Chains A and B, each alone.
Chain A
Amino acid sequence: MRDIAFDLAAAPSATIKSTPRDVLLEARSLGFTAGKDSLLNDVNLKILRGSRTLIMGPNGAGKSLLLRLLHGLLQPASGEVLWQGAPLTRQSRRSQAMVFQRPVLLRRSVLANLKFALSVRGWRGKERSGKIETALASAGLSHLARRPARVLSGGEQQRLALVRALACEPDLLFLDEPTANLDPASTAAIEDLLMDASARGVTIVLVTHDAGQAKRLGEDLIFLQDGSVAETGSVDQVLNTPQSEPVRAWRQGRLYLGPNTHSMQNHSRRML
């Protein structure tokens, strides 16, 4: 039986298992507030080296926020993020990379985008050229190398963003709904690249709304609801036999209104 890649202290409904693989990233009692609103509450999780973890949940649950906190792009209001047991620093963040839902590409050619990312990480000369060539070939973008990055199609742009992140050889790759706006072919291309990276040992943490994608890619799943971890476990376990009401409601397409209320059958009925 495979490992669960997170601490389940904040998810009483799930089962705690031993974790023989080493912990790459850990969140302890993570919280985030905006003004008086608490957007994330007491999130505890562990990401194991080499694992593929999916973060799911309804809109506004705090998935993207959690990803940004784990990557160190935002500072938590409470709790801490540990990288290999030590507090996350700017230096340790260089072992990570992130792909955003809307790819952020520089106003340069495809080639120059890759060159910039690698230069920042200190690669120069032939070594850098070799990496660029490999990255372009893996994404099927070699013939577009001289093209301005921003004229590429949505799928090509996202593939470029992904191989740019992977070219920097991160230990951990965060992805925030990378296929949200893509067609099935482009989605498949992104998923293939992710599985290749995973096979090379890259740890993956991915936010998605797509249960099918979760089943195709995921090993472990964290389900967020209203800024808290509602349930964790293997993807199959959480999606097929959900233990919590938020996940059951989400799987059945119902609106979950809170612990003391009944879930509504659908939005239109709620409106009635």
Chain B
Amino acid sequence: MDSFWSVFGGAFGLVFALDPDLMEIIGLSMRVTLTAVFFACLIGLPLGAAVGAFRFPGHTLLAVSLNALMGLPPVVVGLLVYLLLSAAGPLGPLKLLYTPTAMIVAQMVLVTPIVAALTRQLVEDLNREYSEQYASMGVGPIDRLTSLLWDARYSLLTVALAGFGRAVAEVGAVIIVGGNINHVTRVMTTTIALETSKGNLQLALALGVILLLIAFFVNACVMTLRASAARAAYA
């Protein structure tokens, strides 16, 4: 086994050499993760905002369910999506199993409850502050929803960030529905798992470093944006 420091040296060598295999894996990871987070936000933001802003029959049950689903076990989600997309499943004819689309679906299922539950909490707090003013102005439900989402926009960036964090680090579900096929569905996390088991620690570590750098960069961007928004009293 390589020494600890030689593994690190080899890993950074791969990163700086812009190894094509490495770049392909990173590219696919980002494509899958960002697409999944985008669709999760598309569903989760309005859903969470609606639960946070309005009271309706079953409201509490829905709010509790969203919170509970935040802790969905990834392998269970992977298994469910696998069953849906497998040849015998209801979505089998779409032939999506072992494709990046299947991985996007699995990640989306995992991330949507996180986005929805955190959005609900944020919007509920904001709505408490605005509700009398909205009622006084005669703001309708659609205007209320869009206004709350817009005014919470900088806080919602953190919500999207939480979703991104969950998706980019996901391995259990995507390995089940993606199959970790080389040049097709191999992403950073599944490669790290595979290469570690094979003893190829340099590639695994290189991917680990990149994963950390991406997470750091995205967090830094969001925090900078939020800080400038807070200075302008928009957040």
Contacts and interface: CB of A to CB of B under 8 A. Distances in A.
Is B a genuine binding partner of A? Answer: yes
Interface of A: 68, 71-73, 90, 93-94, 96-98, 100, 104, 106-108, 116-117, 119-121, 148-151, 168
Nearest to A99: B136
A97 B232 contact: no
Interface stretch (B46-54, B137-145, B176-184): B137-145
Interface of B: 129-130, 132-133, 135-140, 143, 147, 150-151, 232-235
Given A104-B129, A107-B151, A94 B233 contact: no
Instruction: Output the residue of B132, B136, B151 with the most chain A CB within 10 A.
Output: B136
A90 B138 contact: yes
12 contacts: A71-B136, A93-B135, A97-B136, A100-B132, A104-B130, A106-B147, A107-B233, A107-B234, A107-B235, A117-B137, A150-B234, A151-B232
A106 B137 CA distance: 13
Main secondary structure of the interface of B (DSSP, over half): helix
A108 B147 CA distance: 10
Given A104-B129, A104-B130, A121-B138, A148 B147 contact: no
Contact of B137 (A68, A72, A120, A148): A120
Given A107-B235, A108-B151, A148-B232, A73 B138 contact: no
A93 B151 contact: no
A100 B232 contact: no
A252 B132 CA distance: 35
B235 A73 contact: no
A108 B233 CA distance: 8
Contacts of B150: 108
Contacts of A108: 150-151, 234
Contacts of A120: 137-140, 143
A68 B136 CA distance: 9
